[in-house]
Amino acid sequence: MKIEIKDFCIRCGLCEDLYPELFHFDHPSDSIILKSEEVSGDLIEVAKNAARDCAIAAIHLKN
């Protein structure tokens, strides 16, 4: 499964706070960095939860 963060992400930092195994807030570039753009195993559930929890639906998942 692939993860994508859309350009309209407001960089609230919630995804990094809740799911640091997948997301990193890179302060110098003021952007959210994916630690992996392709997830498998236990990280699939983490990615689904992150997509659900993002208040503006900026995290998209694709099979």
- The footprint of ligand SF4 (CB under 6 A) covers 5, 9-15, 32, 54, 56, 58-59
Alpha-carbon distance 36 to 20, whole Å?
11
Q: Which is nearer to ligand SF4, 11 or 44 (CB)?
A: 11
- Specify the residue, 11 or 35, whose C-beta has the smaller distance to ligand SF4: 11
How much helix, strand and coil, in percent to the nearest 5, is found in the chain?
25, 25, 45
Q: How far is the CB of 51 from ligand SF4 (least distance, A)?
A: 9
Closest separation in Å from C-beta 50 to ligand SF4: 7
Q: H or E stretch including 24?
A: strand 23-26
